[in-house]
Structure 1
Amino acid sequence: MVEASRRHLLAGGLAAVAGSALARPALAQAFPFKPNQRYPDPAVEILDPSFAKYRIYSSSIEQLATGMRWAEGPVYFPQGRYLLLSDIPNNRIMKYDEVKNSFTVFRENANYANGNARDRQGRLVTCEHSVTRRITRTEKNGKITVLADSYEGKRLNAPNDIVVKSDDTIWFTDPLFGISGEWEGFRAKPEQATTNVYRIGTDGKLTAVITDLLNPNGLAFSPDEKKLYVVEWRGTPNRSIWSYDIDAQGKAANKTKVVDAADFGALDGFRVDRDGNLWCGYGSNGALNAEAADAGGRKVFSLRGKPEDLDGVMVFSPAGKPLAFIRLPERCANLCFGGPKGNRLYMASSHSLYALYVEAHGAV
């Protein structure tokens, strides 16, 4: 019955399925989606022939859930075969169960949770983006443990994205988004002088590893964990991905630009596959044209580029070469690999959660 309702949802809207498990949690616009009926899916655009081996010929993009205001921070739990993701403005964490094909609220009043990760013991680690402005771990019994909420006696800014390394250290970015307005939390004055990338050691010590990026955002390690990639959200002149060499003590060196989003694109959250490729959430950066254009008798400053041509997932080689673009009808903020074989790409995109099976697996 759930699958039948889902097909009806994709074909015609939420009204006819208002009682289904997928429809009940919606608190925002529900985005209707018409999947492509042809194989291979034309939404998967190959920019370099080397990407062809990662495309599954008979796989297409699916919309799994909708009704969020700004979907972020997906993380997959293989033991339970479910995915958690944040709906930041609605201040909740959502749960997609791929066995039951259900979409429900996992946690209300989530302190505007943003990035989520799974530690080596299978516990949820979360960036609480506003209000509490801290990193927490959800224990197996449901208890919340605070891992970090201040640095050098001052409150963190707004923890954003997070990753757990194989040595159990936890790395996260701390830009200003959760305290810079009233959309993803509450406006507040920052106490830190810089926007940093932090490391929580196994002893609980918090260290500022990278301090020279303006609003660092998504982050991920290379497969061998010798390089850390970080998105600089307010890079000049464009958003960028930087790589740093990470030594055994967790220190960063040799800052190198890997990707420059020079086509008015906005890099956000991303993941690295086992071959070292970077699968990046993508969309318009919101920049306006310098000159206004006539639109029905009004002078309008339109967006640079075409947002509809930027929304989706960009895939880059380890050297930053564009390999593919997965076109979505909504801007993708973040993604992760999951599924029983680890080859299902989950994409948290504005109002909705999408998925695509690929011949790639997440590095971590």
Structure 2
Amino acid sequence: MDNIEIIDPRFRAMVLSNAPLEELADGFRWLEGPVWFADHECLLFSDIPNDRVMRWSESAGISVFRQPSHFENGHTRDRQGRLISCSHRARCITRTEWNGQITLLADRFEGRRLNSPNDVVVKSDGTIWFSDPPYGIQTDYEGGKQERELPARVYCMDPQSGELRCVIDSFEGPNGLCFSPDETRLYVVETGLQFAADARHEIRVFDLQADGRGLSGERCFAGAHADGIRCDQDGNLWAATEDGVHCYDPDGTLLGKIHVPCRVSNLCFGGRNGSQLFLCASQTLFAIYTNCRGAQQP
């Protein structure tokens, strides 16, 4: 367990002493947006600067799922199991239908173009929640420089009505987001202004109101330099960070870390019983088996 750091004794039962950190594939440019497809026993993830979405499976290894991808970043699945994706280049949210057709879900708010949708989650009622910082339109590396038309925000979209609502406008750079297993909380990562020397880095948490769509009680959950985040079935929060993975109790206590030799941008649970943690770490895809199961639908 050389790569495991136990900070709180409770973390000892959440990790496995005989499960190594495994390198699944490398040679990419910058990995993001992992999503597990249990019904196909495969992982999809973005290699953003190479403008492609990759596919990994235990049996077949690595292949290209989609190229060009319009510099897609975050991915998730909706309640019907379809792929929901964030595009930097096209500045939109899309859905990949079962026949492969791509449906545009949202690219504008109040007549103005979105920035560069970054990460996305789907709530049990089918609503699609996504962050929209300007990162993807500020460089040519992850999508191409374009003019910004909107502030950085988090949105909620109803795919049935097409209604798009701004639910958070207090962030400089909203990034990863996820719901607690009971959907009473929404966690959102603040990564601040991209080129600022003193960019703000923290994870904030909001309470969902009784209607399941309004938010209240904004507060700091952890002062971490994080990116993507996921919850396990017990409500613990797993965060992709500069030195690996940090795991937090729902009360904000840092329980432990999984150290990774390079910066981790995003992560998701998948694999056998949803207990394998996949890590998009700079140019390398890693995985490690845990003693926890992911909260998200596989």
* Same fold? TM cut 0.5: yes
- Contact 2:174–2:188 (CA<8 Å) still a contact in 1? yes
Which structure shows the bigger proportion of residues in strand conformation? 2
- Contact 2:19–2:289 (CA<8 Å) still a contact in 1? yes
| Residue in structure 2 matched with residue 69 of structure 1 by the alignment | 29
What is the TM-score when the length of structure 2 is the normalising length? 0.95
Amino acid at match of 1:166: S
| Residue in structure 2 matched with residue 196 of structure 1 by the alignment | 153
Task: Kindly indicate whether residue 111 of structure 2 is the aligned counterpart of residue 120 of structure 1.
Answer: no
Distance 1:112 1:238 in 2: 25
| Residue in structure 1 matched with residue 234 of structure 2 by the alignment | 275
Amino acid at match of 1:241: I
| Residue in structure 2 matched with residue 93 of structure 1 by the alignment | 53
Among 231, 236, 251, the residue aligned to 2:214: 251
Distance 1:121 1:246 in 2: 23
| Bigger Cα Rg | 1
Distance 2:175 2:207 in 1: 18
Q: Residue by residue, what CA displacement relative to the aligned partner does 1:159-211 show, whole Å, maximum 9, x if unpaired?
A: 0000011111110000011001111111111101x211000114221100111
Q: Following superposition of structure 1 onto structure 2, how do residues 170-209 of structure 1 map, counting pairs within 5 Å?
A: 170-192=128-150, 194-201=151-158, 202-209=160-167
1:237 Cα shift? 6.5
Q: Following superposition of structure 1 onto structure 2, how do residues 101-112 of structure 1 map, counting pairs within 5 Å?
A: 102-112=61-71
| Residue in structure 2 matched with residue 343 of structure 1 by the alignment | 275
1:340 Cα shift? 2.6
Task: Kindly indicate whether residue 247 of structure 2 is the aligned counterpart of residue 315 of structure 1.
Answer: yes
Distance 1:174 1:91 in 2: 19
- Contact 2:275–2:290 (CA<8 Å) still a contact in 1? yes
Q: Residue by residue, what CA displacement relative to the aligned partner does 1:283-322 show, whole Å, maximum 9, x if unpaired?
A: 1xxxxxxxxxxxxxxxxxxxxxxxxxxx211111112211
Distance 2:5 2:13 in 1: 13
Q: Following superposition of structure 1 onto structure 2, how do residues 131-280 of structure 1 map, counting pairs within 5 Å?
A: 132-192=90-150, 194-201=151-158, 202-234=160-192, 238-247=200-209, 248-261=211-224, 266-280=225-239
Distance 1:98 1:229 in 2: 31
> In structure 2, the residue corresponding to 1:106 is in which secondary structure?
strand
**Count of aligned positions:** 290
1:57 Cα shift? 2.3
Distance 2:288 2:178 in 1: 20
| Residue in structure 2 matched with residue 32 of structure 1 by the alignment | none
- Structure 2 unmatched ranges of 5 or more: none
Distance 1:96 1:243 in 2: 32
Distance 1:342 1:99 in 2: 17
Worse-matched range after superposition: 49-58 or 156-165 = 49-58
- Contact 1:238–1:260 (CA<8 Å) still a contact in 2? no
Task: Kindly indicate whether residue 270 of structure 2 is the aligned counterpart of residue 357 of structure 1.
Answer: no
| Residue in structure 2 matched with residue 78 of structure 1 by the alignment | 38
Q: Which has the higher contact order (CA 8 A, sep 6+)?
A: 2
> In structure 2, the residue corresponding to 1:52 is in which secondary structure?
helix
**CA distance 1:322–1:153, change in 2 (3 Å):** same
Amino acid at match of 1:185: G
- Structure 1 unmatched ranges of 5 or more: 1-40, 284-310
1:351 Cα shift? 0.5
Structure 1 vs Structure 2 CA RMSD = 1.2
- Contact 2:191–2:199 (CA<8 Å) still a contact in 1? no
